[in-house]
Amino acid sequence: MKLAAMLLAGGRGSRMGGDVPKPLVELAGRPLLAHVLQAVPAEVDPVILNTFDSEAYGAFGLPSVADRRPGFAGPLAGIEAVGLSPCLQHAGVTHLLVLPGDTPFLTRRVVEALIGSPGPRIRVARHRDQLQPTVALWPMAALQGLSAFLDAPRRHAIRAYLDEAGHEPVDIEGDDPFFNVNTPADLAEAERRWSAG
């Protein structure tokens, strides 16, 4: 098994109210993306950013791939772009770990639970009966129908594709590691949680 990872960093971050891409907003003196990267084990290589602004992320030294579709078509368009990119297609990658770039409390334990027993179906994190569709391990074979799915009018919902392609939940116990930062209020809550340890 050869694992690669992609970090979803293609959103506009307009709800944050600034001109800094959301994954670059700082929490505890580091960008949100840096917190997420700590959850990725060293054996997962390459790690690719899905972003429309590769220059903004230059300090991370990671390859980036922009969506192939115009506009902001959501996380499935990012998964399509990275999953079908030449850098993965020619690298012998068997599974793609998908993580959001704005989830600073994500842990190595969560990632290891996802990658621990890969199979033919998409493995999706679930916490307290809530599926976390952007925290998942995708077999490369699960990407085969994605472009056709996205070509259909108004078919961009990631949960709909997970249902169509087949997925299995991976239950994550304990405190919620999936809190994501979308607004200034979320950032304030993340700072409170970080300070509380």
User: In a structure prediction context, what are the per-residue pLDDT tens digits for the chain, which is 197 residues long?
Assistant: 899 999 999 766 666 666 778 899 999 999 999 999 999 999 999 999 999 888 889 999 999 998 888 777 789 999 999 998 988 877 889 999 999 999 999 999 999 999 998 889 999 999 999 999 999 999 999 999 999 999 987 777 899 999 999 999 999 998 899 999 989 999 999 999 999 87
d(CA 16, CA 187): 9
At 162 the pLDDT is 96
What does the angle CA 150 – CA 151 – CA 152 come to, to the nearest 5 degrees? 90
Most distant CA pair in the chain: distance in Å?
46
Q: In 10 A of CB 161, how many CB atoms? A: 22
Fold of the CATH domain 3-196: Spore Coat Polysaccharide Biosynthesis Protein SpsA; Chain A (3.90.550)
| Two structure tokens written together for 29 | 């003196």
Q: For residue 5, which of 54, 70, 65 has the smallest C-alpha distance?
A: 65
| Two structure tokens written together for 73 | 């078509």
Q: 120 preceded by cis ω (within 30°)?
A: no
- Partners of 50 in the beta sheet? 8, 65
pTM above 0.75, yes or no: yes
CA 164 to chain centre: 20
Residue pair 96/116 in contact (Cβ under 8 Å)? The answer is: no
- Give just the sign of the alpha carbon dihedral 17, 19, 20, 26: negative
Close Cβ partners of 30 (under 8 Å, ≥ 6 residues apart): none
Helices (H), the chain: 32-37, 75-83, 86-89, 108-115, 146-151, 158-165, 184-196
HSE (side-chain half, CA atoms, 13 Å) at 26: 3
